[in-house]
Amino acid sequence: MSGHQVTEGNVQVRGCKAPLFYRQSEPDTGEVRMSVLLLHGIRFSSENWLNIGTLETLAKAGCRAVAIDLPGLGRSKSAEAPAAVGELAPAGFLKDVCERLSLSPVVVVSPSLSGMYSLPFLFQHQDLIRAYIPVAPICTDKFTAEQYQSVKVPALIVYGDQDAQLGEASLLNLTNLSNHSVAVMKGAGHPCYLDDPDTWHKLLTDFLNTL
């Protein structure tokens, strides 16, 4: 197991008046296997990924992991969101984030609110995405079954079995993705990764090892 360090930074993205805050971890030694972009839900921020050990886990697994604070949230509060909550953001938003942070091709981890950012990016820029890990994201109902079927990117759909609303609704749509597997976290709610970090980290690293 290699060591790691977590650093902090800011990145200026087109259309945002203020920069976005991010936390980053990477292996101290050896080659970086892949890059992972960690997004978050409306009540959360990059700090959650730090606190539950996801940044550390990914670095130990040989990945470069970047957790951003989405516009208007966390330490990116002064950055203006490119769309209202629940509306689809332009696909170019995350494309710009990934280009400026040299993250392509990227594995995108997308819980809850962040679906408004990740889904447009997924549908319009498959070539920039190595894998997609949605965790009960919003906005899945804004795309058709045919659109989902056209996505060839490997996907791991994760949700908590206590998440009766978004978990099940998003699952219904996301299972139309042509190359997907499903992981149900027993006894976990909507932010299932917070409820059971150990199971979450095993699911995450096992899936990354298949890529």
Residue 166: exposure state from Cβ atoms within 10 A (0-12, 13-18, ≥19) = buried
How far, in Å, CA of 166 to CA of 193, rounded?
15
Active-site residue identified among 4, 40, 125, 190? 190
Q: Is 125 a catalytic residue?
A: no
Output b/e per residue, 26-43; b: 16+ Cβ within 10 A: bbeeeeeebbbbbbbbee
Catalytic residue list contains 190: yes
Catalytic residue among 35, 112, 114, 170: 112
Q: Which of 96, 163, 195, 196 is catalytic?
A: 163
Distance CA 126, CA 25 (A): 24
Q: Is 163 a catalytic residue?
A: yes
The runs of H, that is alpha helices, within the chain are: 46-51, 54-60, 92-100, 115-124, 145-149, 166-174, 192-195, 197-208
Residues annotated as catalytic (active site), given as ranges: 112, 163, 190
